Amino acid sequence: MVIPDLLNSLAKDYKCGYQVQVVFDIAQIDTERALLDSIGKVYFENNHKWAKSKNVEHMRITNFNVLISFVEPLFSINLLLTRKQIDFLLWQEMLSIIKSKEHLTIIGVSKIKELRAAQHHYRSFIHKNIVSQVLSIRPD
Which domains, and CATH codes, for the chain? 2-137 (3.10.28.10)
* Distance in angstroms (rounded) separating the CA atoms of residues 48 and 62: 8
Contact 39, 59 (CB under 8 A): yes
The order of strands in the sheet holding 20-29 is 2-6, 20-29, 56-61, 49-53
Do residues 119 and 91 make contact, with C-beta atoms less than 8 angstroms apart?
A: yes
Identify the band that residue 118 occupies on the pLDDT scale cut at 50, 70 and 90: confident
Q: For residues 16 and 66, give the distance between their C-alpha atoms in angstroms, rounded to a whole number.
A: 25
Please determine, for residue 129, whether its predicted confidence score (pLDDT) is greater than 90. Answer: no
pLDDT tens-digit map of 41-69: 999 999 999 988 888 999 999 999 999 99
Say whether pLDDT at 99 is over 90.
yes
| Crossing angle of the two packed helices 106-122 and 84-99, in degrees rounded to 10 | 170
